[in-house]
Amino acid sequence: MENTTLKVKDFNIRQIFLCGQCFRWYEEEDGSFTGAAFGLCANMRQEGEMLHIKTVLPAENAGNAMDIRRLWEYYLDLARDYGSIKKYLSERDGKIGAAIESGTGIRILRQEFWEAVVSFIISQNNNIPRIRGCIEKLCNLYGKPLGTIGGRSFWDIPEPQVLAELKAEDLGEVRLGYRASYLVETARQVVELCNGLETGTGNGKSIRRQIEEYFSKLNYDQAYGKLLEFQGVGPKVANCIALFGLGLMDSFPIDVWVKRVMARAYGMGEGETATMEKLARERFAPYGGIAQQYLFYHIRETEGK
DNA sequence: TTCCAGGTGGCAT
DNA sequence: ATGCCACATGGA
């Protein structure tokens, strides 16, 4: 176990972990959150501008305290000044102020690419509690054990090559419905893509690391186009992966909630997604994804669940 | 029972 | 390029 304390601003742990960008953090009785990311499980408790983190060190313990501190700083996107971004967005758009106020402590997590791919393929036409349940079951059945903290045990996101060898029917217990075949097929595509990469760079690196590095070198248009080639990844899921899994802060996922909130706020029809994208580009760039998350949170707070 | 959820693939225009 | 529609699952 490693203890770390970080100073945080523009940070609300509850908003960050329950706003629908991630699915593997669980709220505890004391208001802390227990969960897993980057193959580590941890508990995080916020006290004002202090964030106390307990990290379960992996058995083969490669990580030292400094690595873990850096990892969480990266994951929580602490280097970014959300205060100035909120100001920038408010000044450029008259309607987003209310949304920012309701979700003022939201930050975009820098999640692992492969976890984002898996998570958002499962997310399609699905609701958040069920998405969480499916991902948990998938990890428990096919992921490597990470440890136990606060009475909860965690398993890692399954490796691409593990899922690639399954048939969709094998995933029956996970209750993914028709998404099971998307997940298996995308895993195959990821493994194949990595196998086709120049050998040498891939030596010793896991497939999930290789695929993340591959996508990290692409710009938004390239990454978006490549993501659309994956089975079960369309425009919305591709933008979620780009935003949450690649840190491309200008990607603007449009789901049913964003359609609703933008229709209300900007007097559009819910079908006018092209107009919504245009508005996002013109007013929110280069932080469309952050603006989107404030909007998403706001509509769900006021009308959703 | 019907509707809905962080939509997409496949097919017909 | 655009418009339908089936697609599993479980909760409201």
pLDDT value at A112 more than 60: yes
Q: Which nucleotide across the nucleic acid strands is nearest to A233, CA versus C1'? A: B8
Q: Which nucleotide across the nucleic acid strands is nearest to A179, CA versus C1'? A: C8
C-alpha angle A287/A50/A87, rounded to 5°?
25
Confidence of residue A198 (pLDDT cuts 50, 70, 90): confident
Torsion-angle region of A134 (φ positive above 0: left; ψ -120 to 50: alpha; else: beta) = alpha
Q: What is the pLDDT, as a whole number, of residue A61?
A: 62
Note the CA–C1' distance, A205 to C10, in angstroms: 39
Note the CA–C1' distance, A225 to B12, in angstroms: 25
Q: What is the pLDDT, as a whole number, of residue A66?
A: 60
Closest residue to C9 measured CA to C1′:
A177
Higher pLDDT among residues A301 and A204, named by residue: A301
pLDDT value at A83 more than 60: yes
Confidence of residue A201 (pLDDT cuts 50, 70, 90): low
**Per-residue pLDDT reduced to its tens digit, A250-261:** 999 999 999 999
Q: What is the pLDDT, as a whole number, of residue A115?
A: 98
Note the CA–C1' distance, A291 to B5, in angstroms: 22
Q: What is the pLDDT, as a whole number, of residue A297?
A: 98
Average pLDDT for A78-94: 98
Residue with tokens 């408790």: A45
Note the CA–C1' distance, A269 to B5, in angstroms: 20
Q: Which of residues 109-138 of A touch strand C (CB under 7 A)?
A: 125-127, 129-130
**Per-residue pLDDT reduced to its tens digit, A11-67:** 999 999 999 999 999 999 999 999 999 999 999 999 999 999 999 998 776 556 669
Q: Which nucleotide across the nucleic acid strands is nearest to A23, CA versus C1'? A: B6
**Per-residue pLDDT reduced to its tens digit, A141-190:** 999 999 999 999 999 999 999 999 999 999 999 999 999 999 999 999 99
Q: Could you tell me which residues come within 8 angstroms of residue A106 by beta carbon, excluding any fewer than 6 positions away?
A: A12, A15, A16, A19, A82, A290, A293, A294, A297
Whether cis (ω within 30° of 0) applies to the bond prior to A286 is: yes
Q: Which nucleotide across the nucleic acid strands is nearest to A236, CA versus C1'? A: B7
A252 beta carbon to strand B: under 7 Å: no
Residue A144: both structure tokens together: 């490597």
Q: What is the DSSP letter of A154?
A: E
d(CA A179, CA A275): 29
Catalytic residues of A, by residue number, are 236
Note the CA–C1' distance, A192 to B10, in angstroms: 24
- The CA-atom distances, in angstroms, between A293 and each of A17, A122, A166, A175, A244 are 12, 19, 34, 28, 11
Residue A126: both structure tokens together: 């699905």
A236 beta carbon to strand B: under 7 Å: yes
A296 beta carbon to strand B: under 7 Å: yes
Q: What is the pLDDT, as a whole number, of residue A64?
A: 66
Note the CA–C1' distance, A265 to C12, in angstroms: 27
**Per-residue pLDDT reduced to its tens digit, A261-301:** 999 999 999 999 999 999 999 999 999 999 999 999 999 99
Residue with tokens 């280097």: A79
Q: Which nucleotide across the nucleic acid strands is nearest to A172, CA versus C1'? A: C8
- The CA-atom distances, in angstroms, between A80 and each of A43, A77, A84 are 22, 6, 9
Q: Which of residues 162-221 of A touch strand C (CB under 7 A)?
A: 172, 175-178
- Of A108-117, A194-203, A265-274, least confident by mean pLDDT is A194-203
